[in-house]
């Protein structure tokens, strides 16, 4: 909310102080935050739990798609190691993408055109891959444990 009683200098120092508290772990944002504050732009930060909620949502979807506890646990262990349940995870050296680190990520388009952002599509593709190549997520996890990849 804008407060006319604050001078521009006072508003600037309050904004910078607030922005520094939000962005301090991400020093790269400080310059952008300062520039935005000096021009009067309002910045908002995503809640810290946003990534956690996304991972929790993906896990819930996977659990519904994989009702067998052993198969879900194996799938979950692979995804945890491969992407940390980050739908947007990208391997900087190989280019593998998504929850299951498809290489190339565009392979997941066979499960849906929303493969870049939809955890359900990525999970569907990953399950199909694990079932086709290893017989099941448990088979894929056994291979992963022996080789460090699947």
pLDDT in tens, 57-105: 999 999 999 999 999 999 999 999 999 999 999 999 999 999 999 999 9
Confidence of residue 14 (pLDDT cuts 50, 70, 90): very low
Residue 24 has pLDDT above 60, yes or no: no
The 10 Å Cβ neighbour count of residue 52 is 11
Residue 97 pairs in a beta bridge with 90, 102
Residue 100's closest CA among 70, 76, 126? 126
pLDDT reported for residue 109:
98
Mean pLDDT of 5-24: 41
pLDDT reported for residue 54:
86
Percent of the chain with pLDDT over 70: 65
**Going by C-beta distance under 8 Å and a sequence separation of 6 or more, which residues neighbour residue 134?**
140, 142, 143, 150
pLDDT in tens, 100-125: 999 999 999 999 999 999 999 999 99
CA distances from 32 to 11, 44, 45, 90, 121 (A): 17, 12, 13, 25, 35
Mean pLDDT of 37-61: 61
């Amino acid at each position: 909310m804008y407060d006319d009683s604050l001078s521009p200098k006072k508003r600037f120092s309050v904004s910078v102080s607030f922005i520094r508290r939000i962005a301090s772990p991400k020093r790269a944002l400080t310059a952008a935050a300062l520039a935005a504050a000096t021009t009067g732009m309002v910045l908002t930060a995503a809640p810290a739990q946003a990534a956690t909620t996304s991972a929790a949502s993906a896990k819930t979807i996977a659990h519904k798609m994989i009702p067998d506890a052993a198969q879900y646990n194996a799938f979950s262990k692979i995804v945890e190691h491969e992407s940390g349940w980050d739908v947007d995870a990208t391997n900087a050296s190989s280019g593998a993408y998504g929850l299951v680190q498809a290489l190339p990520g565009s392979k997941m388009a066979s499960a849906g055109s929303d493969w870049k952002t939809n955890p359900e599509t990525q999970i569907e593709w990953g399950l199909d891959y694990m079932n086709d190549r290893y017989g099941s997520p448990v088979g894929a996890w056994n291979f992963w444990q022996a080789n460090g990849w699947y």
